[in-house]
Amino acid sequence: MLTCEPTAREVLLEGQVASLTANLKGLQEEVERLQQEKHVLRLKIDALSRKLFGRSSEKLNPDQLQLIFDTLAQEAAAACTTPAVEEPAAGDPGPDPAPAAPGPPPAPVRKKRSLAELIENLPSTTIVLTPREVEAEPGAWRATGASEETKLLDYIPGHFCVRIILRPKYVPVGHPFQAPITAPLELIQDRCIATPRLLANTLVLRFEQHLPYYRIEQLYARAGVPLSRQTLCGWAGMAANASSIILALTREEVFADGYVQADETPVKYQDPARKGVCGTGYLWVFYNPVRNLCYFAWRTGRGADCLESIIPADYRGIIQCDGWKSYNRFVKDRAAKGHPIQLAGCMAHARRYFYDAKAEGEDALWVLLQMQKLYHIETRLRDSRAGPELIRTERQTHSLPILQQIKTRLDDLVARRKHLPQSLTGEAITYTLGQWDKLLVFLQDGRVRIDNNLVENAIRPSAIGKKNWLFMGDPKSGGRAALFYTLIGNCHRAGIDAQAYLTDLFTRLALPTQTTKSLRGLTPQGWDAAPKPAVPTGAA
């Protein structure tokens, strides 16, 4: 039997074919990897576009979800698919930019006007204050000399006016050479020309209507009183110093029940040390769902040391938050000191990841549908005004099985490596499993909410403000903003008018008879429950 030995050329050709086959296989794998990476990047771009230009609501319709599942099933059953052809991007650079127009001329320097010039054309009201001793025994006193006169700039919604306070001097009838007495001038700070009502109006415009100080300056100038921004800022600092005790009392109440929600939002601020570059500070917000109270604090950082300086040293309980690492470090530091704190997760944050990934396929949509069932249970319990014990029982009965199904599905997806870790679905799975134990805390305590949305709602007014005034003027102004966001936010929760509250607060803080017990009645919740005293005529 004859055998043909391969020639040297055939051996060379076989080697080249094997090498080309290996290279082709490598290239095919590289092409497949690049296609997957392109697909992931395209989905992320689409998600970012929806976030920037799409609707902000994340509500899902179950019928729409079912329609998406049916469409996916039809696509999977199709025999062939036609790859999409991408059109090349246009490369026309466009017309040349027009030359810049000359800038406006510098604004003329305005001469600072005196108080007399400010109020010379304003209507005025005169009030006479009589000492209590004279009111008690009018026959034992007689007026002597000229009255002490103080002029305060007041604001009644719609127009400015002047409030003239006269304080006659009195001496005893039998002792004409004794030093005269006058009624005390009750103001939160001496030599301030603003009444409590004007202070309250300025702060409401700044922290409730979110106007920058230069707009308030223009608003007052159009009303006939050109007050400078420096003056308005000084009033805000003075009012914040006087109200700091109310902020301290609010902090005690927020952390009194052992359960708070926490979040933070970045705010730019001007720092002289940075030489023209704005730093990034944070408004930390804590919300007590039990008492419906919020508390704002300002810090120039976002680390665990900020939480250490804000949360009382003896606090024990639950903090519901997102997955920011500073919370974990803070809890470890407190545990080392013998003060255990438990972190609860936010289902809304986990859901948001899957919502951004819903275009990637049925896995994210299935998780969203299960989470929708969880929220239906919470809505039913909230509408029925169920108590904490009933809420805990219902969650153990109905919510726990749904969460177990979600956990089983996510573990299976990880085991099968169905989604790339850098894909949107992969990131959603990683975040949710990393927070899983914290996400289950709400099952054990009926007071704990399923998500952190309440504290995020408390932050929203400050987000509106950031779009208007862009940055804080200096690091200290962040603390003032935190104080007034706390007071005004709690006014909204108590259903009271912020300007009426602040007017009465600044009036009563000036009274020398205030005690610690009476100051607790000056928080928005205490003020709402207590009878409102008549505003002293000399102050507002």
Q: What is the pLDDT of residues 437-463, one digit of tens each?
A: 999 999 999 999 999 999 999 988 888
What is the per-residue pLDDT for 443?
95
User: 307-324 in b/e burial notation, b at 16+ Cβ within 10 A?
Assistant: beebbeeeeebbbbbbbe
Distance CA 391, CA 445 (A): 8
Radius of gyration of the chain (CA): 34
Q: How is residue 494 written in tokens?
A: 């108590």
Cβ atoms of 182 and 132 within 8 Å: the answer is no
> In which domain, by residue range, is 441 found?
346-451
Least confident range of 67-76, 177-186, 275-284, 424-433: 67-76
What is the per-residue pLDDT for 88?
44
159 lies in some domain? yes
What is the per-residue pLDDT for 240?
93
Q: Residue 356 — φ and ψ, nearest 5°?
A: -65, -25
What is the per-residue pLDDT for 531?
55
The reply to whether the predicted model has a pTM over 0.85 is: no
**Which of the listed residues 185, 213, 232 is the one where a domain comes to its end?**
185
What is the per-residue pLDDT for 431?
94
For residue 87, pLDDT over 50 is answered with no
Place of tokens 């094997």: 18
pLDDT-based confidence at 483, cuts 50/70/90? very high
Q: pLDDT for 107-122, tens place per residue?
A: 555 666 777 787 888 8
For residue 53, pLDDT over 50 is answered with yes
Which residues, including other chains, have CB under 8 Å from residue 265's CB and lie 6 or more apart?
Answer: 282, 283, 285, 459, 462, 463
Distance CA 297, CA 408 (A): 40
Which range has highest mean pLDDT (64-73, 126-135, 339-348, 464-473)? Answer: 339-348
Which range has highest mean pLDDT (274-283, 390-399, 421-430, 463-472)? Answer: 390-399
Q: pLDDT for 172-190, tens place per residue?
A: 988 888 899 998 888 887 7
Q: Across the chain, what does the average pLDDT equal?
A: 84
SS3 159: strand
For residue 232, pLDDT over 90 is answered with yes
For residue 199, pLDDT over 70 is answered with yes
Higher per-residue confidence, 449 vs 9? 449
Q: Among candidates 178, 158, 180, 160, which has minimal Cα distance to 169?
A: 180
436 lies in some domain? yes
**Which of the listed residues 451, 473, 501 is the one where a domain comes to its end?**
451
Distance CA 344, CA 330 (A): 14
Which residues, including other chains, have CB under 8 Å from residue 256's CB and lie 6 or more apart?
Answer: 288, 291
The count of domains in the chain is 2
Please provide the distance, in angstroms rounded to a whole number, between the alpha carbons at the two ends of the chain. Answer: 123
Distance CA 222, CA 443 (A): 57
* Sign for the pseudo-dihedral over CA of 412, 417, 421, 426: negative
What is the per-residue pLDDT for 231?
92
Cβ atoms of 286 and 310 within 8 Å: the answer is yes
Distance CA 69, CA 285 (A): 40
Chain length of the chain: 540
H helix count then E strand count, the chain: 20, 11
For residue 273, pLDDT over 70 is answered with yes
What is the per-residue pLDDT for 79?
47
For residue 539, pLDDT over 50 is answered with no
Separation of CA 415 from chain center: 39
CA dihedral 332, 334, 340, 342 (to 10 degrees): -60
416 lies in some domain? yes
For residue 47, pLDDT over 80 is answered with no
What is the per-residue pLDDT for 104?
47
446 lies in some domain? yes
What is the per-residue pLDDT for 7?
75
110 lies in some domain? no
Place of tokens 């009201």: 125
282 lies in some domain? no
Higher per-residue confidence, 476 vs 78? 476
Q: What percentage of the chain reaches a pLDDT higher than 90? A: 47
SS3 319: strand
Distance CA 446, CA 133 (A): 57
**Which of the listed residues 131, 154, 185 is the one where a domain comes to its end?**
185
pLDDT-based confidence at 70, cuts 50/70/90? low
231 lies in some domain? no
302 lies in some domain? no
Number of Cβ within a 10 Å radius of residue 47 = 18
Per-residue pLDDT averaged across 463-478, rounded?
83
